[in-house]
Structure 1
């Protein structure tokens, strides 16, 4: 009976704790970042609204704060001609493939109390993460072809 209880406790801790990759990612992502550049996989002029919020020019040089102990954060837009101010969000890092270490970043805009107004979220691939840089990628379809938006962050 004690063995069964020990196994159940161990399994519940593993299920709640997340994988080592996710736990490590949360430690690295913690803190303040700048969205330094946004690039596209194809050349051309595109009118892209990111996160159902603002265009590329407004998001570039925005500041982001990640608080992983409660999976919340704030980003601030301050560009000329942009709807400036703070935006709140909740996020989750979800491992996709344990062998490759690839993982998704799920971001959901909220109000200041953590409540979603639209119940809309965004799935982005966390393509790179180190102590100083982070890259998110979102793949869309443009004229039937894959189109990748890369959001490149640097840690403050």
Structure 2
């Protein structure tokens, strides 16, 4: 029994410390306040791509719209009240309009957000999303989320540039 406990401790302890590290591309010296300051402002979501699997994928992002509807969307993050919005253009495939969200950055190097209305009320029933911050610089941001499709892992990659 003691031997199993010791082995479990040896296996879990490194995992605990590894999970506290900032993701690659996000300087560990930046605290969440500095990351929030960097993310503050207008961003353009240039591309939504997929890693870790091959093929053509169709996906509904954030329980909202097809991934193709998000390419070219303008996002705005406000760090003074942790709210933001993105605008999807109307098309045959996309229901256009402005969507609002409340966001924060976790110590794990993740951006989390949930849908709200224009009066800052939760409209998601508590449902939210967490994206890994793979890279965040003054002019570029890359967010990633790991999902499973038919039991196979896929990483969705969101590549942004800062609008000046």
Please report the TM-score for the alignment, with normalisation by the length of structure 1: 0.81
CA RMSD of aligned residues (A): 1.3
Partner of 2:89: 78
4+ residue runs of structure 1 moved beyond 3 angstroms?
none
- Determine helix, strand or coil for the equivalent of 1:46: coil
Shift of 1:56: 1.2
Partner of 1:89: 101
How many residues align structurally?
132
- Determine helix, strand or coil for the equivalent of 1:28: helix
Please report the TM-score for the alignment, with normalisation by the length of structure 2: 0.77
Q: Is this contact kept in 2: 1:57–1:79, CA < 8 A?
A: no
Higher RCO (C-alpha 8 Å, min separation 6): 2
**Structure 2 unaligned spans of 5+:** 1-28
- Could you say which structure has the higher strand fraction? 1
- Determine helix, strand or coil for the equivalent of 1:44: coil
Shift of 1:44: 1.2
- Determine helix, strand or coil for the equivalent of 2:84: strand
CA–CA distance in structure 1, aligned partners of residues 151 and 67 of structure 2:
22
Q: Is this contact kept in 1: 2:114–2:124, CA < 8 A?
A: no
CA–CA distance in structure 1, aligned partners of residues 71 and 98 of structure 2:
14
